[in-house]
Structure 1
Amino acid sequence: MRQSSETFNRNLHFKAVVVAGVICSMLLLVGTAGFLFYQTRLQQRADEIQTLYKDLLDFRSMLTKLQLAEERPEIFRKVIQNTTPVTLHSLNYPELGEQSRLSEIAHWLQSQHSMLEKMLREIEMQKSGAEGIISRKILQLDEVMLQVSLELHHAHEQTSGTIQFFLFIVLLILLLFSGGATTLIIKNYRQTVIPLNRLAGTLLQFNKDLPESIHDTAEDVKKSCPKDCFSSDINRVTETIVTFCQDLEMKNRKLDELFIKDEKTNLYNYRHFKEHLIGDVARAKRYNDLVSLAMLDIDHFKAYNDANGHIAGDRVLQRIAEIILEECRHTDMPARFGGEEFAILFPRTDAAQARGIVVRLMEVICAEPFERERNQPGGRLTISAGIATFPHDAQGWYSLINNADRALYESKSTGRNKVINYEEIRTEGSLS
């Protein structure tokens, strides 16, 4: 039950809240109109009872004057002659009969009024006497007036009670609305403003100069704004930022590849190769390790270009680069050094291991059927290679390149399609 409630709260959108508010407002308006109609009816009934009570008072006042002169007939007849008939305003409210008791009282008052008028006419014509009738009527009238006064009091209480009840309901609805709005604002603050501040803080730490910080930013956004804790809007913002960072990271990688790789061969370019060479040599010095470097050159490549054109020559470069990538280990770093010359960096590799890889590479290239290679010297395309190893053949990265290049030159000058280690040249020089 708690989990379903949390799911409902997470899925509660602002649109649904607005619709609920409009519906509640309409219900409140309809309820107010109904209350006003009901209150009008109550007030009308109270006015009718008030009118009836006033008629009773007027009737009693007239009876009281007659009662005072009842014992002196000569004065009594003069009072009768000077008495103005009471106008019963309650006769204008036939709706008063909705309550059975009030209806009986109204009809009784009407009958008493008619009876009194008839009796007064008879007394005035000396056909009959009062004989205590007025006193009895006053006693009956007092009992009726007491009942009507109670009904009037009850009507006023009902009217005021209805007003108080309506005000209580309105106040309760306002309190519920205020509490709901406050809760919604607090929840929205927790699910929107707080995570937005976290996102802003994370993005402020974003360093555009460091590609790896893009990945770190995406991970920080995921951690600071988990999907289960915040609103769907914040989840969409979070997903957008994470997707943006991931796309930016991927595009940066592609840009890096364009920046560090040769366009024709898809091997690393000289700039990137040099950076890694300097770093690997420095690491080898620190940890007393080995680094080997092989320089490779396509034999008679100028003649192939002159005979077949540069487009065919580019296809040869691309295929040889593919073979180099296929034959190298994942720790090796092949690069295009320039023109038809390639370089392969072998971290933590001695001269013998490097020579074995290069020999296998030369055999694969020699067996590869290149386009129009029969016109080449020997009827096939081949490569020559020179290898130097740090620290045996060089004291730094620059001398390592020079000595590997010297070994390559020696390989080309002594017949091509072979591999020579710089150690062989150094040994021959020391012997001579």
Structure 2
Amino acid sequence: MDSEERPAKMRKLDHTLENMDTEIAESAPADGASDPPDTTLVDELPHAEMSNDDENHDKLPGDAGPKISKNQLKKQRRLERWEAGREDRKVVRKEKIKAKKERIREARAQPYAEGEENSGEAIKRRRPGILGTQVPITVIFDCDFNDLMFDTEMKSMGLQITRCYSDNRKAPFRAHLALSSFGGKMQERFDGILAKQYTSWKGFQFFSEDFVHVAEQSKEWMRGKDGGDIAGALKQNDDSTEDTEEEGEVVYLSSDSDVTLERLKPNSTYIIGGLVDRNRHKGICYRRAKSRGIKTAKLPIGQYLDMKSRQILATNHVLEIMLKWLELGDWGKAFMEVIPRRKGGVLRSELEEGGKEGEQGEGEQQDEQEEGGQRDEQEEDTADNSGPHIHFKEGDNSAEGGTAKDLQSYAEDEASTPSAAVEPRLPE
């Protein structure tokens, strides 16, 4: 086989072997000693050359690495442009924040220029970061129900607790908040997913003890210097003649209770069951309170609202209703502002007013119908007395008092008479 017809690998191997033979011949001893040449390197060279050729066989000329698709290349370039513009975006973001602060500053200064310093809206605008008035009321969330909730329900319970803190912080009249039996899955979620943000919450304390122990401690901080002032609806409903010992009561709120909560009292502690169970464990909070000797009561929902669904509310809704009552002093208004519309709650006072208006409208309509009937009767009497009344006999062309021919002539005579105002009534 000629050298031109050999494969490239074989030519490269032959070229390498020829070079090796030349080097061996040049390095042979001068005295003509015939030492056997070392062919170890020669035996290993074909394998090394072939392996290198196999690795480079799939690589195209000029390739520096593995090829990527066009979409991947676009994404890579877009990411590079995004990283390159990071500093520019930071500058733009700072300018936007600065402009927003300037607008807020101008909006706060506008009421003073217009002479609205004493208006309520002006006070709200110039005090955006000031907390509401602290009142001597404590609300405890009993969260000793970890074993009764699924993971999704535990997540919902955590969100409700977070919402409670937010609502209380924004309310014009704030209550002391506490969480009892803090541990297990609830604590794992607050420490992990929520990154221990609860440790910086102001006015919200977390305890591993049960609600009875926390209720005893709440009496101490409500009597302290930061216990709060009697304000809002507490001040309006405060009765100085009432026994002061009853003002420090502890009540577990439960919809299964027979006692209705009429109003909130100063220096009192109200316990809400922190349970999301889709009504699987009925009456568990009520039995839990009774077993520990704690009073129970329910919100007066039935007295003020007519609801199409169950009167069981979420934890954050119960707290928000209590905060609204402290602000408004009216349970009905508090319910209507907080309870979701999907529950179909309607004020009973509105239903009663609507019923009275409906009865009044029905009475007026009945009077109109009676008056209309009387007018119809009068018109019929007038028509009857205005002319002759002639009756035909059924199945006969003759009429009482004369024949049909006599009737026709009578009608013609009456029509020709000027004094005739009404034509005779002919049968249909």
TM range (shorter): under 0.3
Q: Higher relative contact order at CA 8 Å, sep ≥6: structure 1 or structure 2?
A: 2
Q: TM-score, normalised by structure 2?
A: 0.22
* Higher-helix-fraction structure: 1
Q: TM-score, normalised by structure 1?
A: 0.22
**Which structure has the larger Rg?**
1
